A = this chain, B = another copy of it.
Amino acid sequence: MEIETERVGFFVNGWQWFKGIPLNAGAAVVGFAEQARKIASDDPRKLIHSLKVGLALSLVSLFYYFQPLYSSFGVSAMWAVMTVVVVFEFSVGATLGKGVNRGLATLAAGALGLGAHHLATVTGKTWEPILIGLFVFVQAVASTFIRFFPRVKARYDYGVLIFILTFCLVSISGLRTDEIVDFAQKRFSTIVIGATTCVVISILVYPVWAGEDLHNLVAKNMDKLGNFLEAFGDECFTRPEGVRPALVGLQPILDSKSSEETLANFARWEPGHGKFMYRHPWKQYLKIASLTRHCAYRVEPLNAYLQSQTQAPQEIQEIISRMSTESGKALKELAWTVQTMTRPDSHESNLRIASKNLHSLLKSDFWEEQTDISLVIPVAAVASLLSDIVSCVEAIAEAIDELSSLAHFKQPDDKDKASSHFSVVVDDHDQVKQESKSSAVEILVV
């Protein structure tokens, strides 16, 4: 009887599960569509990038459609399709870097492969395969090892990969076909066609510049940190019920290192565009970003004191509030300087005054009046962290000063107008897109 019940239960469960399939599938589709909608609305450039890839692939597949094109390249046209799929990346810099790597590596490895083939043929039929095998092995070992060099890994990793690939294909194919020169030449020309298609489309159609992204990211992170410090200055002693949105979300700043380095590596491949010249000092952005992160390490522990029950003397409270607010303002000012590429005019002087006030207060005998020292300790900790933060902000200001002379920032003139415009530039995707578009036109003119 029990078995019977179990069996019925099994069937009922099975039926429930079976009935659930359309529901589950429906839920999965809805979830998928929701996620896709979110990604596309968060950054419409991702949708546009997908359309660009489709366009590039359709263009190179024309080699198969038209007889005259097909008869000159034949099956090698396949290399053009492959090149588009693997070379077309999100930003112009990444696409250019991969395209140039692939083109040059194919050229170099093709030439060397032909040389190896020639050398092996001279030695006669018996030695030929042995020599080719030896070349392939030695070349693969050496090139794979070179990929571990940090500088090669950062900029030429893909090139070395393609070098290994092409050398092997050209030199090994030589064993079986005499049309090896033709093979190498067709491979090279179709790859150049594919890579050029990618680069041209990525520059002309709504270009995404890695350099501009890096520029905006660095400015935005400083701005966020500044907002945090301002909000902390307002609220560190008021302890409101809810937490203001500016007081969360430091984590992305703390974790930004790898994405900044990737963007800087891509940006170095990019030609001049918009307000950035070729060889814009991207490395200096990394320095600023690293200092900003250093500052964020000091800001993050402040979070813990928002909830603490501090009842510091009124005067101290005011000075700490003031110092946090001024640090925040200075950081936002610096973010504005970077974003608009306008020379700073020492707006952190307010910060220096506040910092001086704090230091003189800390050294005054005012504190001796305080009897309950356990209440002073969290305040002392906050003051100490803030004094560190001020040093960090000063270091950032110095690095931005260097950047402003390296990148020839313009003198401030219509500053107030630009200042009110700032938050728009940082937050508005359409704005960034508009700028990218106009810079593409400039490139065409250059």
A interface, CB within 8 angstroms of B: 35-36, 39-40, 46-47, 49-51, 53-55, 57-58, 61, 64-65, 70, 75, 78, 81-82, 85-86, 129, 133, 136-138, 140-142, 144-145, 148-149, 161, 164-165, 168-169, 172-173, 175-176, 254-255, 257-258, 293, 297-298, 300-301, 304, 362-363, 367-368, 370-371, 373-374, 376-378, 380-381, 383-385, 388
Contacts and interface: CB of A to CB of B under 8 A. Distances in A.
B385 A377 contact: no
Given A172-B64, A374-B362, A57 B380 contact: no
Given A136-B61, A176-B70, A165 B85 contact: yes
Q: 4 tightest A-B contacts by CB?
A: A381-B384, A367-B373, A380-B380, A258-B258
Nearest to A35: B149
A39 B384 contact: no
Contacts of A380: 376-377, 380-381, 384
A141 B57 CA distance: 10
Given A46-B148, A169-B78, A175 B65 contact: yes
A307 to B, nearest CB: 12
A374 B363 contact: yes
A39 B149 contact: yes
Contacts of A141: 50-51, 53-54
Contacts of A371: 368
A378 B377 CA distance: 10
Protomer copies: 2
Contacts of A161: 85-86
Contacts of A85: 161, 164-165, 168
Given A55-B137, A380-B380, 17 more contacts: A36-B145, A46-B148, A51-B141, A53-B141, A54-B141, A58-B133, A64-B175, A75-B176, A81-B172, A82-B169, A297-B297, A301-B388, A367-B373, A368-B371, A378-B384, A380-B384, A381-B381
Contacts of A164: 57, 85
A145 B50 contact: yes
A47 B149 CA distance: 12
A403 to B, nearest CB: 22
Nearest to A53: B144
Contacts of A145: 36, 39-40, 46-47, 50
B86 A144 contact: no
A140 B201 CA distance: 15
A290 to B, nearest CB: 9
A51 B140 CA distance: 8
Contacts of A39: 145, 148-149
A193 to B, nearest CB: 15
Contacts of A168: 57, 61, 81, 85
A324 to B, nearest CB: 15
A54 B368 contact: no
A374 B361 CA distance: 9
Contacts of A57: 136-137, 140, 164, 168
A75 B370 CA distance: 87
A61 B130 CA distance: 12
A133 B62 CA distance: 9
A50 B148 CA distance: 10
14 contacts: A36-B145, A39-B148, A55-B137, A75-B176, A254-B297, A257-B257, A297-B301, A298-B301, A301-B385, A363-B374, A370-B373, A377-B380, A377-B384, A381-B383
A138 B54 contact: yes
A299 to B, nearest CB: 10
A434 to B, nearest CB: 22
Contact of A165 (B86, B133, B374): B86
